[in-house]
Amino acid sequence: MDIKEIIKEENIVYKKTSVLTDKVMHYCPGCTHGVVHKLVAEVIEEMGLQEKTIGVSPVGCSVFLYDYIDIDWQEAAHGRAPALATGIKRLMPDKVVFTYQGDGDLAAIGTAETIHACNRDENIVVIFINNGIYGMTGGQMAPTTLPGMKASTCPFGREPGQDGHPLKITEIVAQLPGTTFVTRQACHTPAAVRKTKKVLKKAFENQINKRGTSFVEVVATCNSGWKMSPVKANEWMEENMFPFYPLGDIKDI
């Protein structure tokens, strides 16, 4: 069939959701943040939640998230997104409230807020992007940095005896009675992206059904920080991140 015959409005099977703004994202080429932003926007569109959703954006590379998804937003101080989301959801229980946070934000400076929100059964969705480093500030070691993984503040690789052990915060929050759904996904292949979208939808549905905290980790690449091409970073993530941060549901009640 001629291409001109195929490229017609009625044949569209995939296009940008209108919940994403037209703003060009500031991320480096290949950054996982862009993929997850898009999935969140698609889920909001498909569930008809655009007028009802309030996002809480973090400090980190995704600090400008409020420019990219066309919903209401509040910008949190570094690590405080779950506390802010708690306040918003308690004051406006009819809204759908989620946080979107990096590993530095959620698992370092914001550890207390993360754990206590999850332990209080807060009826919110927490989206956790784990790229193993502080992307925005220059690729410093994060609590999630793997043993032996190089970062700008551990140029010879993280040494657990000296630098501490990587923190599996997702496994920690899964143990708390306040969480209903805790899962770890990735976006390195089309199948993985489709799966991540499915769990995000489930997390939002849980909130609508007043089921407590849903926590979605996405193991992500920061190819600039890791100093690799985007495609190589995906391969490196599969080989190195997934054995330590295995994908799948950790808790689903």
Ligand X SMILES: Cc1ncc(C[n+]2csc(CCOP(=O)(O)OP(=O)(O)O)c2C)c(N)n1
Footprint of ligand X (CB under 6 A): 59-62, 78, 102-105, 109, 129, 131, 134-137, 142, 222
Residue choice 185, 234, 237, 250 for contact with other proteins (CB under 8 A): 234
Q: ∠ CA 212-218-223 to the nearest 5 degrees?
A: 155
Residue 213 is classified by DSSP as E
Region at 220 (left for phi over 0; alpha for psi -120 to 50; beta for the rest) = beta
Site string for other proteins, 8-47 (x = CB under 8 A): x-xxxxxxx---x---xx-xxxxxxxxx--x---------
Look at residues 185, 170, 58 and name the one whose alpha carbon lies nearest to residue 110. 58
Residue 241 binds what, of other proteins, ligand X, none (CB under 5 to 8 Å, by partner type)? none
Q: How far is the CB of 19 from ligand X (least distance, A)?
A: 21
Q: How far is the CB of 91 from other proteins (least distance, A)?
A: 33
User: Rg for the chain (alpha carbons), in Å?
Assistant: 18
Distance separating alpha carbons of residues 111 and 235, to the nearest angstrom: 29
Q: How far is CA 123 from CA 26, 96, 119, in A?
A: 31, 9, 11
**Nearer to ligand X (CB atom), residue 96 or residue 136:** 136
Distance separating alpha carbons of residues 114 and 106, to the nearest angstrom: 6
Q: How far is the CB of 189 from other proteins (least distance, A)?
A: 7
Site string for other proteins, 176-195 (x = CB under 8 A): -----------x-xx--xx-
Q: Does 239 bind other proteins (CB under 8 A)?
A: no
Report strand pairing: 140-141 vs 133-134. antiparallel
Q: Does 85 bind other proteins (CB under 8 A)?
A: no
| DSSP conformation letters of 51-114 | TTEEEEE-SSGGGGGGGTB-SEEEEPSTT-HHHHHHHHHHH-TTSEEEEEEEHHIIIIITHHHH
Residue 32 binds what, of ligand X, other proteins, none (CB under 5 to 8 Å, by partner type)? other proteins
Residue choice 3, 51, 156, 239 for contact with other proteins (CB under 8 A): 3
Residue 14 binds what, of ligand X, other proteins, none (CB under 5 to 8 Å, by partner type)? other proteins
Q: How far is the CB of 72 from other proteins (least distance, A)?
A: 21
Look at residues 155, 142, 172, 156 and name the one whose alpha carbon lies nearest to residue 241. 142
Query: Would you tell me which residues interact with other proteins (CB under 8 A)?
Result: 1-3, 5-8, 10-16, 20, 24-25, 27-35, 38, 187, 189-190, 193-194, 229-231, 234
